[in-house]
Structure 1
Amino acid sequence: MADQNTVILSLLILLPFSLLFILYLIVRPRSLTIPIKNRHVFITGGSSGIGLSLAHRFASEGARVSILARDLRKLEEAKEAIRLSTGIDVSIFSADVRDFNAVKKAIEDAGPIDVLVCNQGVFTPQELELQSLDEIKFMIDVNVMGTFHLIKAALPLMKKDRKSRGPASIAIMSSQAGQVGIYGYTAYSASKFALRGMAEALQHEVIADDIHVSLIFPPDTDTPGLEEENKRRPELTTIIADSSGMMKADEVAKKSIDGIKKGSFIIPCNLEGVLLSIATAGLSPQRSYLMAFVEVLAAGPVRLIGLCFQWNWYGSIEKWHSKRKRT
């Protein structure tokens, strides 16, 4: 009996190490480091919010930074703010990401890109039944088609002489609403969920060119865009979204750049984001065998946590509708 217990104990000890070893062998793509200093970083939505914070941080790390947005006045203000804080001049480009030809010209004028950050995004929360098709189309055009336009325009120059220039990155700014849908986010979540499918397939297409795709999943972030969003948010959306924390734009920028440097496919920005990333890992690439180990072991418990969140959210929806019926 003692010998049997010893064997069982030995197996229990060996199993985690065996799993780690297997994951070390099979996890793909392999880990790498993407350098930032003296490299060209091109950021869309770079005149405010997360994009501006990214531009500040990339510039302070010695990158050559270009920022693109629609409003030339805001771009010039952003350029001056970055110059004052870092002593570095950034290049600015005014274009609407919905216009492929304008995007293509801006990228060609900027020159070959080493790190492309597709950070542009618009969000108008509302129930689908009440939201106009024009608003829905605008979100899809900016968030999804705008990202297609940027990547398609940038890829030829990104691929050129890549072996001599080192690894490149395409980072796509999604949202925690691109991992889980909630009330009032029907159109927005659709646009952000689409980015995941785009990114997973794109990574297959560009890995041989030493280009590495990252998806960033920030929570609500304290930006001018959030202020506008809150003016339109349905009450139920606020009730449910309040279960998630808010971050500062600079905090999201730091997490984003740290993940880009590691070539991480999924870049969560807070603890809730980590749990969502584990819960939705699916068939996504994973460079870290240690993180893959966590995903494998935590998948079941995190699913249970997710069901608890859903129980809470549906409870809130039921209470809200019951309250409305009584008034």
Structure 2
Amino acid sequence: MVLFTLILATLLLLLLLFLIVRPKPVSIPIKNRHVFISGGSSGIGLALAQKAVSEGARVSLLARSLHKLKEAQKSIREVYGVDVAIFSADVRDHSAVERAVAESGPIDVLVVNQGIFVPGALENQASEVIKSVINVNLTGSFNVITAALPSMKNRKDGAPASIALMSSQAGQVGIYGYSAYSATKFGLRGLAEALQQELISDNIHVSVIYPPDTQTPGFEQERKIRPELAGIIMGSGGGALSAEEVAKKSLDGIKSGSFSIWFNLEGYMLGFSGAGFSPQTSFPVAFLEIVFAGLSRLAALFFLWSWYRIIQKKHAN
């Protein structure tokens, strides 16, 4: 009887979630559509460009360094035999971004990928450094999105479109030495949640991508200059993923219209424990969020317990 009741309750919950989960599931086509990637000259952005090109997309890349953009363009041409469009602009300059977007043509899939990270405890960081992180990671995201929105809303094919924001696991949980960076990456979630409500009637679907440590050109340098405590705390999170792994899962999530895109056990745990009012297109995933929310929160409290012990021990020496 208990088992029957449990099964019935599970089925009723799944049925309820099927009826109420929003936005509705969607398939976003990539082939023969325009994918525009900011921060696309290296790392995850370049890997995403390569993956999108391999699936038949027309790709445009935006970054500050024209030299790096040309290298990225050449690498894609050599492997796939096609050219991607490149645009040199600083995302902090709204006018420059607008010109690049206008020249690139109407966008179907926008990946807002640019970002910088300067590790260090907040008290040791100059205000200019903090402003730079905020202006590139957060203000720059607003600039790219607002530049692209008019053409995205007026696209002719009527097919679903996408805006994907590259956050980080540091946008799911604050980490020692990541104060400014985490603030910007947490901010992207708030932007995405509100933006999805504003754009759903235009059939534009928003995704937030939460990659863990990823093997990119700046990753090894970042690890060298992280505060010691950050390295100790983050050392418990497992090895870094390749940019190609992150790109593949990111693009798969974008194509399925997923609002939150996670990569490993820690990412799912953080996602389940902090889902809150985030949109959810998959009713099975919504079911898992409900079932595991309490356990994920308990696991999070154990992690925090160990982190604060590490911090306390370090400062006691």
TM-score where L is the length of structure 2:
0.98
Q: Structure 2 counterpart of 1:175, which letter?
A: S
1:69 paired with 2:63, answer yes
Specify the alignment match of 2:185 in structure 1. 192
Pick from 253, 260, 268 the counterpart of residue 247 of structure 2.
253
Q: 1:165 to 1:315 in 2, by over 3 A?
A: same
| Matched residue, 2:81 | 87
| C-alpha distance in structure 2 between counterparts of 1:93 and 1:269, whole Å | 30
SS of alignment partner, residue 165 of structure 1: coil
Residue 54 of structure 2: aligned partner: 60
| 1:244 lines up with 2:237 in the alignment | yes
Residue 229 (1) aligns with residue 191 (2): no
Shift of 1:227: 2.4
Cα distance in 2 between the residues matched to 1:109 and 1:314: 50
Residues 186-233 of structure 1: CA deviation (Å, up to 9, x unaligned): 111001111110000000000000000000000111111212322321
Answering whether residue 262 of structure 2 is matched by residue 281 of structure 1, we say no
Give 1:216's aligned residue. 209
Distance in 2, matches of 1:165 and 1:78, equals: 31
Q: What do residues 23-45 of structure 1 show as CA deviations (whole Å, max 9, x unaligned)?
A: 00100000010000000000011
Shift of residue 161 of structure 1?
3.5
Q: Distance in 2 between matches of 1:258 and 1:277?
A: 18
Amino acid at match of 1:83: R
1:145-160 correspondence to structure 2 within 5 Å: 145-160=139-154
Match of 1:3 in 2: none
- Tell me, yes or no, if structure 1 residue 18 matches structure 2 residue 12: yes
TM (norm. structure 1) is 0.95
The more displaced of 107-116 and 82-91 is 82-91
Alpha-carbon contact 2:106-2:155 (below 8 Å) kept: no
Q: Point out where structure 2 has 5 or more consecutive residues left out of the alignment.
A: none
Query: Match of 2:18, as an amino acid?
Result: Y
| Shift in Å, 1:272 | 1.4
Structure 1 residue 165 displacement after superposition: 3.4
Structure 1 position 266, deviation (Å): 0.2
What percentage of aligned pairs have identical amino acids?
60
Partner AA of 1:104 in structure 2: E
Secondary structure (helix, strand or coil) at the match of 1:258 reads helix
Corresponding residue SS for 2:277 = coil
Query: Where in structure 1 do 4 or more consecutive aligned residues deviate above 2 Å?
Result: none
* Aligned partner (choices 303, 309, 313) of residue 315 of structure 1: 309
Task: Tell me which amino acid in the other structure corresponds to 2:244.
Answer: D
Q: CA deviation at 1:275?
A: 1.2
Give the superposition deviation at 1:114.
Answer: 0.3
- Label 1:211 to 1:302 Cα distance change in 2 as closer, same or farther (>3 A): same
Indicate which of 155, 159, 166 corresponds to 1:166. 159
Q: Which segments of 5 or more consecutive residues in structure 1 lack a partner in the other structure?
A: 1-5
Q: Which has the larger radius of gyration?
A: 1
Q: Which amino acid aligns with 2:230?
A: T
- Shift in Å at residue 159 of structure 1? 0.6
CA distance in 1, matches of 2:139, 2:113: 13
Aligned with residue 200 of structure 2, among 180, 203, 207: 207
1:34 aligns with 2:28: yes
How much does 1:320 deviate?
1.2
Deviation at 1:244, TM superposition (A): 1.4
Matched letter for residue 55 of structure 2: E
